[in-house]
Chains A and B, each alone.
Chain A
Amino acid sequence: MIEWWHLLVSFFLANVFGYGGGPSSIPLMYQEVVPNHAWMTSSGFSNMLALGNALPGPIATKIAAYVGYQVGGWPGVLIAVAATVVPSIIALIFLLNMLQKYKQSPVIKGMTLLVQPVIAIMMLLVTWSSFVESTKTIGYLQFFGIAAVAFYFIQKRKIHPAFVIVAAFVYGGIFLQHS
């Protein structure tokens, strides 16, 4: 019972202090899981992280699910995942509902307009870091080759990105094997 409470508090804190999405909460979750509560060893945590990175989807909830299961079985999963996602969703819904009410006011219109350049630059920076990471593992030729094909099919031919990603899986599984 007390472990459930600890799960709730740990995952709530690790995510409420993590800015910039799940990946930036990983060190905070490590702090709670390994040194604070000794739910896992340090190498256990890195193994779990390796598995998490090999699977798709948001990373914070995958970690919460795994640690939750180890500590408290399926109820543990539920508690840890809920503590990870529910507070920030409620905050977002609350804030956006408030903004919606005043949608037509020039104040809100100005705010909506002024966030566009910030979002553009933030996305540009994420693009840049994934470019740098990717070229380190697969090289410039592969990167630009795959990127060009993906651009053609998603932007020009308007194919659903899901198909392009599945095609990339197949291509990578055959031609980009590496250790």
Chain B
Amino acid sequence: MKLSKQLGGRGALTNSYIQIATAMFRTGILGYGGGPSIVPLIRYEAVTRFKWMEDEEFGEVLAIANALPGPIATKLAGYLGYRLKGVGGAIIGVLAHIAPTCAAMVGLYSFIHFFSTSTIIKGMIAAVVPVVAVMLAVMAYEFGEKAVKGLGWYAGIGFFVISFLLLQTLSVHPAIVIFLFLFYGAFHNKLQSLWKKKQQKGETI
């Protein structure tokens, strides 16, 4: 009783298990285009809707998840569930995310002809892609904004250009790019303070 009052009495959605199940069920049945296009939907649930974590942390989780192999959406569903409620949360998160579509896959095979030829279903899917593209673009913008805030304009844009060249122009594997940036990041603060000290010395002389 006391607890539910403290939590603002928002009913069943204050229960973390139910939050995980709701969020992952929704993202699992609404995302089209495979795991990577589901990421903005998961971010919306985790950061905006249920406020499980700050956006910076989500970005970090996403980066590490991208650096590891395997499907991306289930990695996020599993980790977010785990972070809230341990192993039980991870299992609930993943099951809520994939069980409905896995069952549909097995159950609907006899209707495959209908699904792969229906012009209506194709139209429905085609209309979702721009919506997801908007969410992806917003996400790109917001992470870019954070990078500029944390690194300053010059370094921020410099790192954008470097990542773009590596990922797009040179087609370096994303996992390698992330590892490179993480590696440099480990020394970034130290290098920056050294550089600042040097500058200050230069000024006093």
Contacts and interface: CB of A to CB of B under 8 A. Distances in A.
Contacts of A92: 61, 64-65, 68, 75, 78-79
B122 A178 contact: yes
A62 B134 CA distance: 25
Contacts of B13: none
Nearest to B192: A110
Interface string B163-177: 110011000011101
A147 B35 contact: no
A1 interface: no
**In this complex, which of A16, A22, A99, A113 has the most chain B Cβ atoms within 10 angstroms of its Cβ?**
A113
Contact of A147 (B36, B133, B188): B133
A107 interface: yes
Contact of A47 (B41, B104, B116, B151): B116
Given A62-B105, A113-B150, A172-B127, A130 B136 contact: yes
Chain A binding surface SS class: helix
Contacts of B186: 107-108, 110-111
A65 B56 contact: no
Contacts of A89: 70, 74-75, 78-79, 82, 90, 94
Interface string A150-179: 110011000011101110111111111111
B102 A19 contact: no
Contact of B73 (A20, A54, A58, A170): A58
B106 to A, nearest CB: 5
Contacts of B57: 112
B185 interface: yes
Contacts of A2: none
B68 to A, nearest CB: 5
B88 interface: no
A22 B73 contact: yes
A22 B96 CA distance: 18
**In this complex, which of B100, B119, B128 has the most chain A Cβ atoms within 10 angstroms of its Cβ?**
B128
A161 B188 contact: no
A116 B139 CA distance: 11
Interface in B110-131: 112, 115-131
Interface string B137-159: 11111011011001100001001
A104 to B, nearest CB: 12
Given A77-B102, A119-B63, A126-B136, A23 B164 contact: no
Interface residues of B, number: 107
A81 B44 CA distance: 26
B195 interface: no
A125 B177 CA distance: 14
Contact of A112 (B39, B60, B73): B60
**In this complex, which of A54, A106, A176 has the most chain B Cβ atoms within 10 angstroms of its Cβ?**
A54
18 contacts: A17-B69, A20-B66, A20-B72, A60-B35, A61-B98, A63-B105, A66-B105, A84-B70, A92-B68, A106-B189, A117-B181, A118-B167, A119-B63, A123-B136, A125-B167, A150-B131, A168-B127, A172-B126
Interface of B: 26, 28-41, 44, 49, 56-57, 59-66, 68-75, 78-79, 82-83, 90, 94, 97-98, 100-106, 108-109, 112, 115-141, 143-144, 146-147, 150-151, 156, 159-160, 163-164, 167-168, 173-175, 177-178, 181-182, 184-190
Given A130-B132, A173-B124, 11 more contacts: A21-B72, A22-B72, A51-B105, A57-B31, A57-B100, A114-B188, A119-B63, A124-B137, A124-B140, A127-B137, A142-B127
